[in-house]
Amino acid sequence: MCARNGYDDAMEKDRDRQRQQESQEILRGVERDSGSFLTGSMSRAQDRLAAHFSARDAEGEDGAEKWGRRIGRALGLVAFAVLVLNLFTRWFF
């Protein structure tokens, strides 16, 4: 059997500490990068959805056209929700 001296134990503890620090830095980097990616993409998706339902993407200055798009898109959303509800519950059809 090989006896360990204090120097070997100290070196091993130092290597373990360095590996642990490196692992923690990698995990913090991954958390930071993934958090900013998801936050940014969710924010953009929310902005696009709000613009779609408020008819900001409609061309022209006609108020009736904008309100018609808003109402049509809202009714489309309601119809989609009813169809999804029906798919899972077989409640309506």
Residue ranges covered by each domain of the chain: 7-53, 62-93
DSSP one-letter code for 4:
P
pLDDT score of 1 more than 60: no
Please give the Cα distance from 30 to 36 (Å, whole number).
10
Residue pair 70/64 in contact (Cβ under 8 Å)? The answer is no
- Summarize pLDDT for 37-76 with one digit per residue, the tens: 667 778 888 888 888 888 887 777 788 888 888 899 999 9
Of 56, 29, 37, which Cα lies nearest the Cα of 65? Answer: 56
Q: Judge residue 74's burial from the number of C-beta atoms within 10 Å of its C-beta, 0-12 exposed, 13-18 middle, 19 or more buried.
A: exposed
State the pLDDT at residue 2: 54
